[in-house]
Structure 1
Amino acid sequence: MAETLEILHLPSPESAMALVGVGEDNLIYLARHTGTKLILRGQELHILGEAKAVERTLNVLNSLASYWQNAKAIARPDILTAFQALDTGRGEEYQALQQTILAKTRRGEVVRAKTFRQRQYIKAIQTHDITFCIGPAGTGKTFLAAVLAVQALLNNDCERLILTRPAVEAGEKLGFLPGDLQQKVDPFLRPLYDALYEFIDAEKIPDLMERGKIEVAPLAYMRGRTLSNAFVIVDEAQNTTPAQLKMVLTRLGFGSKMVVTGDITQTDLPSHQASGLQVAQQILKAVEGVSFCYLGQADVVRHPLVQRIVEAYERAEQPSPAGSA
């Protein structure tokens, strides 16, 4: 069968770099999923293959034009979502996803949902009092929740922001860590601080914490409280016991939202201990006002290597076919 050649002209060297990705990872991914050959020559991208495959590749690349034309880096989730949009007739929805800006970091970087499931997650938080998000590392579970939480605080939609997580990490115990209690728990809460620093000047955070506007604390501190007019993020919930997660969920007060995130494949609890997050899935799925969102390896928005690592672990953790050794 005769091969077809199409050439995509890119407006600048920067746009070419944005399109091809680190180590031409994007071109490799496109070639693998379309059966075409993609060769970058200066500012020309040569696409060679069967006519239908070349057309499919061009359609995907054109749907990503708002990124590469403006020299904005393209990640694998962008390409995968473009394929999904093309295959399911959701082109207009994908264009809307690209154009909907959720927030901007202090460095001016635009934050938006990169996948349809991330967009569903954001909508769930906006429309439900309690949202669970379950997925692997790098899918934006905590980061997107923190974006919405900071916006709610800065827009006076809530009176305070509460970030909490269980102090359980890979078998370590607080008693073995140096320093006073705050110094002991800080390592466990560092990922939550990191999310805050993207949107609030580091110098302002201590003042907001002193005024009670932001609280970052281990889960045990939530016992006996009523969390009213607050945006609460419970991170690493796979490391809660059923009793701990029930405790924090029942702290929710009027005018509050709660987002519970975790990765059920990365539980650091003892092997005999059930995860509160897994138990909550079974008990709360049908409860009105509670939403469950699931992100997967296709939603990983970190370094391309992170996605490949997640994929490798998912393959390894799949049960062996019946009868295999």
Structure 2
Amino acid sequence: MAAAVDALERQEIRRILLTRPAVEAGEKLGFLPGDLSQKVDPYLRPLYDALFEMLGFEKVEKLIERNVIEVAPLAYMRGRTLNDAFIILDESQNTTIEQMKMFLTRIGFNSKAVITGDVTQIDLPRNTKSGLRHAIEVLADVEEISFNFFHSEDVVRHPVVARIVNAYEAWEEAEQKRKAALAAERKREEQEQK
């Protein structure tokens, strides 16, 4: 977000566009009343919060009114070409492969795209591959595209969050080893029965 604001202030781009998929984190919220902006606001609220923290409420509101800053659900990107823009796709681990491809092909001239996501926090239905995971595989060798991976020591929240991340990573590693050992044991038992 800071890089986008900096690029705007240095007039390297003409607008900032922020988007994220409207995917619920585990719990189902059901029908949301209101118009479109009221329905998608809960999904986009973290993006607004970051902008307000960096620029202040009044400045953000003015920039939104002038369409210099746009916050929109990912579903509304289809058909657009985003020139002279800094585009941020947040929570991209919750995109499908099709959504990610659609987003990536919106990038226009003199634009930069930053895609953030955490593949350990995917909220998609089972058997739906994350667009972020897929993009990492498909685009690894494409020129002008780079990936930066962060770890628990990069956490900029409360220090306990890094310890929480480490604990989950250790548990997941142990769980993978346990499953591999069980699979090896089953295979050995099957071979002994033959």
When residues 308 and 213 of structure 1 are mapped into structure 2, their CA distance, relative to the original with a 3 A threshold, is: same
Root-mean-square deviation (Å):
1.7
Question: How much has 1:250 moved relative to structure 2?
Answer: 0.4
Q: How does 1:1-325 map to 2 (within 5 A)?
A: 146-171=1-26, 176-318=31-173, 319-320=176-177, 323=181
Q: SS in structure 2 opposite 1:292? A: coil
Tell me how far 1:175 sits from its aligned partner.
5.9
- CA shift in 2, pair 1:181/1:207, >3 Å: same
Contact 1:174 1:184 in 2 (8 A): no
Deviations 1:44-69 (A, max 9, x none): xxxxxxxxxxxxxxxxxxxxxxxxxx
Classify the secondary structure of the residue corresponding to 2:58. coil
Instruction: State the secondary structure of the residue aligned to 1:294.
Output: coil
Aligned-partner Cα distance in 1 for 2:30–2:103: 23
Distance of aligned partners of 1:298 and 1:175 in 2 relative to their CA distance in 1, 3 Å threshold: same
Give me the TM-score of the superposition, normalised by structure 1.
0.53
Provide the TM-score with structure 2 as the length reference: 0.88
Counting strand residues as a fraction of each chain, which structure ranks higher?
A: 1
Note the residue ranges of structure 2 that are not aligned, 5 or more in a row.
Answer: 186-194
Which structure has the greater CA radius of gyration? Answer: 1
- Matching residue's letter, 1:272: N
* CA displacement 1:11-60 (0-9 Å, x = unmatched): xxxxxxxxxxxxxxxxxxxxxxxxxxxxxxxxxxxxxxxxxxxxxxxxxx
Task: Flag as ranges the 4+ runs of structure 1 deviating above 4 A.
Answer: 171-175
For 2:103 and 2:161, locate their aligned partners in 1 and report how far apart those are by CA, in whole Å: 31
Counterpart Cα distance in 1 of 2:123 and 2:11: 36
> For residues 82 and 35 of structure 2, what CA distance do their matches in structure 1 show?
26
Native 8 Å contact 1:167 1:174 kept in 2: no
Structure 1 runs not aligned, ≥5 long:
1-145
Counterparts of 2:156 and 2:30, CA distance in 1: 35
Q: Could you list the per-position Cα deviations for residues 155-186 of structure 1 after superposition, in whole angstroms to 9, with x for gaps in the alignment?
A: 21100000000000225667612221101111
Distance 1:300 1:180 in 2: 36
AA at the equivalent of 1:258: A
